[in-house]
Amino acid sequence: MINITFPDGGVRQYEKGTTPYDIAHSISPRLAQDVLAATVNGKVVELGRPINEDSTLMLHKWEDQQAKSTFWHSSSHLMAEALELLYPGIKFGIGPSIETGFYYDVDPGEKAITEADLKRIEDKMLELAREKQNFVRREVSKDEAIKTYTEKGDQYKCELIRDLEDGTISFYTNGSFTDLCRGPHLNDTSVIKAVKLTSIAGAYWRGNEKNKMLTRIYGVTFPQKKLLDEYLVLMEEAKKRDHRKLGKELELFAFSQRVGQGLPLWLPKGAQLRERLENFLKNVQKKGGYLPVITPHIGQKELYVTSGHYAKYGADSFQPIHTPQEGEEFLLKPMNCPHHCEIYKTKPRSYKDLPIRFAEFGTVYRYEQSGELHGLTRVRGFTQDDAHIFCRPDQLKEEFLKVIDIVLYIFKTLDFKDFTAQISLRDSNNREKYIGSDENWEKAESAIIEASAEKGLSTVVELGEAAFYGPKLDFMVKDAIGRKWQLGTIQVDYNLPERFELEYVGADDKKYRPVMIHRAPFGSMERFVAVLIEHTGGKFPLWLAPEQAVVLPVSEKYNDYAKKVVDLLTNNDIRASIDDRNETIGKKIRENELKRVPFILVVGEKEEDSGMVSVRKQGEGDKGTMSVVDFAGLINNEIKKQIE
């Protein structure tokens, strides 16, 4: 008999060789029906995998990400089977599950697969799914694996196999289709009840622009038709909120092929919105004891060789800039930290000076492949709301608490109610991978864990996810329609202080290394604004809205009064404009509502005579008439409430 330990700590005994499915069944037949995958001793496996030793076990239903990724990865095999039947001779690259579904990169040869073919592929997938095909795992030798795919003429799989180690290779077969795969998979295809192939894109083999362009087919599947319907509604909503579409409509930002791909141009309304966000954070940071610094957009190559960033970004990013001076090379900065380290070194520091917090809205440049670029969320030049805190090891926890406070304040102000924090720690079985002493790591890790607990954060701990130079805390927010985004990050670093030989003098007159914290609560201004647009659907909170009120005269007779109202509002720090186009008042109201202006003020004879405005609020409609001064007071009060 073997002992199986469940997540609640309960232990039950089973026959050696039992499977997660058997165990689920022994608990309840209903559970066995719903369970899709299992984690045994920390590793996700299929339900039919025998367990031969004492183990911990988690059973995953659809709600768990492990179940979804198993489900979706299995669906990519199902799609591949359908494709092979519909397009004999088709070749396959890779077909992983992704956060919301799966894709497969395929080479259909002479034929092309287009959007118009997707329905046919979906139907075939559903037909095959109903056959209740089992996913059967078989371990194979490297020779056999290469032989199989050489015979099949699939050079992509052969290339993948060549990179694998003999003894670690497995095949999975469902129906007539066999794939090179590590697994895990579903028990059988019958649980795949609803299929939607969402899009087709080109993707270079192995992401390399020198390789052949394959066809990437994206899809998503569900265990119930109802879940697909919900998903489609959500996608419709997401389309409406797409920041690329809204950014254009609201005139916030643009891209120009002539300026270059992935290099956003902030238009006046977008630039002002961003400035308001920056000022908001600058205020918070000022209160938090941060000191502003400003550093150039480029730095000598040597700087990044010292920091290690050249090794990381050099060859794969923008290439060095040469000057007329022989041998002189500069890099566009991929990170602000090296500059800030040099600022730290401009004078001797004592333990009494610490912590020192340098903050900069620093623009950095990183090359991203053109296929990876996406609106403001993946760009080649972006501005981080960066800061580096240099502190003593004993100050880490307190500094973490303070940074968490800033992040929480931002979330509260911008109405991100649902968020989790991921604590990334090192893999303690693999300590040589990390730099810094055990003692320091333990101190830093417990500082993060304790600080998160003290702030009552809902956290997930990921072992082995820390960077080699330190543990970190990342914030994931859920937006208004339930999508997850990664925002702010707080990261401990033992590496750069070492590389830059940063020091402070302790109370005992000896020299010590400070610890460095990198933190960026927004992440980057570009990404944050993108998320904010998608979260709010462009209906920004009043304090951020590019335009807070628009004044609509009912006819041109009242244009002068309308202008007076705008002036009065402007004098009261309200962003207002006039819409004096010669259109009907109904049309002007509709169009300004579409532009998401929070307040619409209608003025005609009655209003002019009494010095009033008729107020309409976005989403709420008519608010009655009031004096301009009262209206200004109302807005300014609302703003005060939003950013207090």
* Residues that bind Zn ion in the complex, under the rule CB under 5 A: 181, 337, 518
- Rounded to 10°, the helix 118-130/65-86 angle is 110
- Return the number of the residue (6 or 205) whose C-beta is nearest Zn ion: 205
Q: Which of 181/615 has CB closer to Zn ion? A: 181
Residue 80 CB, nearest distance to Zn ion (Å)? Answer: 9
Active-site choice (472, 519, 535, 588): 472
Residue of 26, 32, 30, 29 whose CA lies nearest to 10: 26
Burial 409-418 (b: 16+ CB within 10 A, else e): bbbebbebee
- Among this protein's residues, is 185 annotated catalytic? no
518 catalytic? Reply is: yes
Q: Which of 181/404 has CB closer to Zn ion?
A: 181
As measured in angstroms, the least distance from the Cβ of 179 to Zn ion is: 5
In the complex, the smallest distance separating the C-beta of residue 509 from Zn ion, rounded to whole angstroms, is 30
Burial of 594 (0-12, 13-18, 19+ CB in 10 A): exposed
Is residue 386 annotated as part of the catalytic site, yes or no? yes
Nearer to Zn ion, 15 or 139 (CB): 139
- Classify 526 as helix, strand or coil: helix
- Within a 13 Å sphere around the CA of 401, how many CA atoms are in the beta-carbon half? 13
In the annotation, is 339 catalytic?
A: no
Catalytic residue chosen out of the listed positions 107, 385, 386, 474: 386
Work out how close the CB of 209 gets to Zn ion at its nearest, in angstroms, rounded to a whole number: 25
* CA–CA separation, 253 and 599 (whole Å): 23
Query: Shortest approach of Zn ion to residue 184 CB, angstroms?
Result: 9
Q: What is the DSSP string of 389-405?
A: EEE-GGGHHHHHHHHHH
Catalytic residue among 66, 133, 384, 491: 384
Helix axes 225-241, 525-536, angle to 10 degrees: 120
Tokens of 436: 């810094």
Helix (H) or strand (E) holding 461, with range, is strand 459-463
Residue whose CB is less far from Zn ion, 186 or 569: 186
Nearer to Zn ion, 2 or 343 (CB): 343
Cβ at position 136, least distance to Zn ion in Å: 13
Contact 493, 513 (CB under 8 A): no
Rounded Cα–Cα distance for residues 545 and 276 (Å): 10
Is residue 384 flagged as an active site residue?
yes
Minimum distance from residue 388 beta carbon to Zn ion (Å): 6
Name the active-site residue from 241, 518, 535, 575.
Answer: 518
Q: How far is the CB of 472 from Zn ion (least distance, A)?
A: 11
Residues 234-240: contacts with CB within 8 Å, 24+ apart?
A: 234/481, 234/482, 235/198, 237/481, 238/481, 238/483, 238/534, 240/537
In the complex with Zn ion, which residue's Cβ is closer, 81 or 547? 81
Dig out the tokens for 639 from the structure. Answer: 């703003």
Q: Compute the distance between CA of residue 497 and CA of residue 504 in angstroms, rounded to an integer.
A: 11
Ranked by CB distance to Zn ion, the top (closest) residue is 181
Instruction: Please name the residues in contact with 151: beta carbons below 8 A apart, sequence gap of 6 or more.
Output: none
Pair of tokens at residue 185: 């998979």
158 part of the active site:
no
H or E segment to which residue 358 belongs: strand 356-365
Q: Which residues contact 29 (CB under 8 A, 6 or more apart)?
A: none
**Mapping DSSP to helix (H, G, I), strand (E, B) and coil, where does residue 166 land?**
coil
> In whole angstroms, how close is the CB of 96 to Zn ion at the nearest point?
8
CB atoms within 10 A of CB 318: 16
- By beta-carbon proximity to Zn ion, the closer residue of 391 and 544 is 391
DSSP state string for 114-163: -GGGHHHHHHHHHHHHHTT-B-EEEE--HHHHHHHHHHHT-HHHHHHHHT
3-state secondary structure 57-97: EEEECCCCHHHHHHHHHHHHHHHHHHHHHHCCCCEECCCCE
Q: What φ, ψ does residue 338 adopt, rounded to 5°?
A: -60, -40
Query: Which CB, 359 or 612, lies closer to Zn ion?
Result: 359
Nearer to Zn ion, 189 or 548 (CB): 189
Tokens representing 288?
């938090």
Element (H, E) at 419: strand 418-425
From 366, 402, 527, 588, the catalytic residue: 366
For the question of residue 564 being annotated catalytic, the response is no
Catalytic site residue from 137, 241, 243, 337: 337
In the bound complex, what is the minimum distance in angstroms from residue 429's beta carbon to Zn ion?
27
Please say whether the beta carbons of 108 and 92 come within 8 A.
no
CB of 317 to Zn ion, least distance (A): 16
Decide whether 426 or 518 has the Cβ nearer to Zn ion.
Answer: 518
The catalytic residues are 337, 366, 384, 386, 388, 472, 518
